[in-house]
Every structure is written in structure tokens, then in C-alpha cells.
Amino acid sequence: MEEWIRRKKIVWPDPTTERVVVWETKEALLRAIAEGDVPSANRGRTPLLREDLPDLDFWVGKPVSFERPWFRRHLRDVKSATSLVSSWIRGVTERSDGADEEIAEVVTQRSGTSEDSVKEILGHQAFSFPKPPSLFRELLRFATDSDDIVLDFFAGSGTAAQAVLALNAEDEGRRRFILVSSREATKENLDRNLCRDVCAERVRRVIEGYPGVAGLGGDFAYLTSQRIAFEDLAFDLKPEQVWLALQALHGLPLSPFREDGDLQVASDEDMAVAYCDRFTEGAERALQSAAAEHHFLVVYAYAPRPVRDALDGANNAEVRALPDFLLGRFQG
């Protein structure tokens, strides 16, 4: 506190415009306490000065403000304009209990409304006790900026994704989501896949629309993970896994590996990424075409030398060797 005062970070109440009193005697202070005429918190419900305070005499003869000091923050010190969220979440039909006005209060449905419930979206009650999308939407409204990534490591029925899509549709944001879930297969039902059949299907229908409700738009990719020992990566990685990893590392929208393609190519407005699984005449032509079409091209190949020869003279292309590049990235 002393350091903050020295740095002029504390703004004290102005006695010329705000109420500041001095109790010259303890009797005057006790009388003010009895009348409830002392500073308080929680909108007047909790007096800050009470008869049982052990240091009550300290306040006799001292100027006491009924307002609060402020903490001065400079814009250069603010890393985020996002408000902190109280852990208290109030239902839409519940009355506020007069919480401190400085605490952000989230107002939400206690359960999913009919138009956004899992049963309404999927046509059957596929998940027990799903969280209401309005809860997630209001939390994200407070806690995210319009281009943040939302990670839900226990995705369940996919409520977080629906909330992100709804909020993006509302404020034209570009939030993205990553949902992580398990199959939750059992010995009795080895084919059960909650992530695919409930979570991903719900997200798909929210994007495309379902009976009586228009789609919110957007897209997503459904991926499955496979554990591969690091020492086996160079031998066990499949072409489709390599291609997905390369796209993800470059932050590009994911597209599946095309078995019939001479060259895998993905791009955005800044660059293109290509994966040459096998160098063929068709791949050579596709490489030259990609270099001519895009401003900058990065090519990954298990046989980088013929790829470099095919791109000889192309100053906008870079060739990286596999599996060395991926092994280096996976190793950290």
C-alpha cells in the first residue's frame, strides 16, 4: 500500500465534493454507529465501523470518508480490458441480493431452453444434465475478446461450441473453439462414441440448422487422436496424419488428405502450405503451379531434393524435409 501511495496509484476521496466526517469524541462515534451513520459495504448492509472493533478509538479525531479510494491504472499497464466475473451466477427469474456493484453478475437460464436443448437439436435426450448454452454464452461474453480461442477439455455434449457460435453470430466475432472429449465406451458397448455421436453431431446441426431453427454458420473439424511413441514417429505416421499436423501447425483450416491428389495444398491470404507425399510427374506440375499461384509457398517432403529441383528459380518457395521438421516440433 505504501508503494502504491508513493507512486500516486491511490486516489483518495475529495473532501470538497464527497462526504468526509470527523468524530471528535468516542461518544460521537458511538452515537453515529448506533444510528447507522457510518461507512458501510454491500450497499449499506454491512457497517465498516462497529462498537466491538478493538481499534475503535483509532478513528476518533480522524477524517473518515463515506466514499472509497480508487486505484489508478494507466492504459499502458492494462493487458486486457476483459472484466472479471463473479463466481455468483444468478438465474433470470431470481432477484439480485444486492451484491456489490463492482462485481460483475452473470444472469443465465438454469437449464437449456427448448430451442437450444440437446433433445431439441438431436431429436432425442442423448446426454444427461447438459449445461445451458445461455450460461456459457454469458460467461464467454465477460471472459473473451472477439478473436479468442475457447478450450473446453471436458466438452460433454458440446455446449461450449454452441455458445461460441451463438456469440459470434451476435457480435460478428471470430472466436474459435477446441473441444476435447472421450468416446466413453464401455465393455457392454464398445462402439459407443459420445464425442462423435453427440458432441460433434450437435455442433454440426447448430452450424447447419435443425428443424425450426436456422443454422448459426461456421465450420469445424472432427479429429481423433492416436498415441504413437516418439521413437516410432518417423515410421508410424500416416500421410493423413502428417497433412493434418502440417495444416494445424500453420493455423490453416483443416482439410482431409486426398488419396487421389498429386499434391496436398492448403492456403490463406498470406501463404500456401503443400505436402508432397510422393514425388511424381503430376506432383512436379502441381508444385510449379502452386508456386506461380501463391505469394509464398512452403513445401514439406520426404524427398526434398527433387522438390527443390522442380522449384528451381522460384524465389517464393521454401522446402522443408520430413520427418525432421515434425520430429523437431513434436519434441518441443
Report pLDDT for 110: 46
Three-state SS across 277-296? CCCCHHHHHHHHHHHHHCCC
| pLDDT of amino acid 46 | 84
Q: Give just the sign of the alpha carbon dihedral 308, 311, 315, 318.
A: negative
With contact defined as beta carbons under 8 Å apart, do 299 and 276 qualify?
Answer: yes
pLDDT for position 90: 53
Element (H, E) at 239: helix 239-249
Rounded Cα–Cα distance for residues 230 and 79 (Å): 38
3-state secondary structure of 97: coil
Bond preceding residue 323 cis, omega within 30 of 0: yes
Q: What is the per-residue pLDDT for 125? A: 72
CB burial of residue 40 (10 Å; 0-12, 13-18, 19+) = middle
- Alpha-carbon span 215 to 271, nearest angstrom: 31
Q: Round to whole Å and give the CA distance between 210 and 185.
A: 27
Beta-carbon contacts of residue 284 (< 8 Å; ≥ 6 apart): 306, 310
pTM score, two decimals? 0.62
Average pLDDT, consecutive stretches of 10 residues, N- to C-terminus, the chain (332 residues)? 72 78 94 92 82 89 83 66 51 49 48 59 74 86 92 92 95 95 88 92 95 93 91 92 95 93 93 96 96 96 96 93 92 74
Whether residue 63 contacts residue 22, with contact meaning beta carbons closer than 8 Å, is answered with yes
**284, 332, 279: which is closest to 312 by C-alpha?**
284
